[in-house]
Amino acid sequence: MTRVLVAAASATALLAMAACSSTATPSTSTAAGDCAAYTQYGDLTGKTVSLFTSIASDSEAKPHIDSYKPFEKCTGATIKYEGSRDFEAQLPVRVKAGNAPDLAYIPQPGLLATLVTENPGKVFPAGDLASKNVDTYYQAAWKGYGSVDGKFYAVPVGANVKSFVWYSPKAFSDKGYTVPATWDELMALSDKIVADNPNSDVKPWCAGIESGGATGWPATDWIEDLMLRVNGADVYDQWVNHTVPFNDPKVVAAIDKAGTILKDPKYVNGGFGGVKTIATTPFAEAGAPILDGNCFMHRQASFYQANWATFDKKATVGPDGDIWAFYLPSMTADSKPVLGGGEFAAAFSDRPEVQAFQAYLASPEWSNAKADATPNGGWLSANNKLDVNKLTMPVDKLSYQILSDEKAVFRFDGSDLMPSKVGAGSFWKEMTNWIALDKSSQDVADAIEKSWPAK
């Protein structure tokens, strides 16, 4: 499940609607650089493209709005930005009513599929230039996530890496611990921490899955990461597509593997209590005991970087800082499955200016303009021509290095790909029961399988 964190135990607070429009004329140069790369879009003077997103607060919307300025200045187009906290509820209604925006940022491929299948002819395939850009600048998996029934609709615009373990470099150094390179080394480290803290409340791991109405989603990320590591990408794909049932022995084995950490009282829940406290610990607060020395590791996505300052304003994030992150090890040192998420821009019009802007969003020019417009970090693209030096946050650079690693096998968050009844329903609920009620992996998998919608 893709989430942007704040101090509270919820997704980013979307406080107000932001809108921006401007009038521009084509020019031969801009403050953002030469316009040569923009000639392919043509003269769009007087044309307006509307964009709808869930990013509504002024502070979060501004970097997006600023990243469109080179396109506006070089083509003469105007981008009209609209953000709403009710985006996911409003967009399907607007599409059905014939009042759709020209483009929208869609955070889940499952939502894209629903919009396409339930609104025939209202979501338009991406144009040739957008398709070429994605083929050229992104790993093939990204095009697949923007496609429905083999037809390409939505270009990737943002990315995050979820396969991270947060830790304190100083605490590791003080104890003589080293970052593990394999799953076996990770478990050996966990055992070492237990042995070093006998009869203590200090634990190797801390975790929390409470998130209001979305309680349980952090546990689904654990299962997805372990599905990739235990069974590989092909079985992961079959599981997400339901050609492998949710209660298949391979899936149960992955849940059990996650349980070797999350359901072992020797390992969890440092700073909070026993295993069952994971279900009631807010996910946004779950990593805090690392700073207190009550736990050593916390598995959470790259976007968790924003939370450390809420625990301690002086906390620094980086290889030599108070907090840093390492890649959640695979079963072998020579394999690198990567779980992540992202957003996609889909079009509800095939006007030339809309196709041009959609193509721009898949270009190196936009990814680098967006990085320039986000000086405080917290944003990432999987575009292979993104200048990593423009990423100001160390964990963003580390995320990009992982995404662009030739060995990396990227897969999108499974719950975001599954039918919402499962991915945002029974999967969340049953993983909560797995922790809070100590429900068995098999019983959890059976319950989720029964909830899968019939075709």
DSSP per residue over 131-171, as a string? HHHHHHHS-HHHHHHTEETTEE-EEEEEEEE--EEEE-HHH
CA distance 298 to 64: 30
Query: If you write DSSP's letter for every residue of 75-89 in order, what string do you get?
Result: H--EEEEEE-TTHHH
- Comparing CA positions, the residue from 31, 50, 39, 33 lying closest to residue 349 is 50
Q: Would you state the pLDDT for residue 9? A: 31
Q: Tens of pLDDT along 114-140?
A: 899 999 999 999 999 999 999 999 988
Write down how long the chain is.
455
Q: What is the pLDDT of residue 334?
A: 87
Whose tokens are 């990204």? That residue is 142
Cα–Cα dist 2/179, whole Å: 26
Q: Which amino acid is at 447?
A: A
Give the number of other CB atoms < 10 A from CB of residue 303: 24
User: What element of type H or E holds 238?
Assistant: helix 217-240
What pLDDT is attached to residue 33? 57
Residue type, 168: S
pLDDT of 13: 29
Identify which of 446, 452, 441, 432 has the alpha carbon closest to the alpha carbon of residue 218: 432
What is the identity of the amino acid at 390? K
**Is residue 115 a contact partner of residue 322, using CB atoms and an 8 Å limit?**
no
AA letter at 156: P
Identify the pLDDT of residue 57. 81
What pLDDT is attached to residue 115?
94
- The three-state secondary structure class of 103 is strand
Torsion 171-190-280-12 (CA) sign: positive
Residues with Cβ < 8 Å from 45, sequence gap 6 or more? 24, 25, 26, 75, 76, 77
Model confidence pLDDT, tens digit, residues 292-329: 999 999 999 998 988 898 899 889 999 999 999 999 99
119: preceding bond cis by omega (within 30 degrees): no
Question: In the chain, which stretches have pLDDT less than 50?
Answer: 1-32
CB neighbours of 99 closer than 8 A, spacing ≥ 6?
none
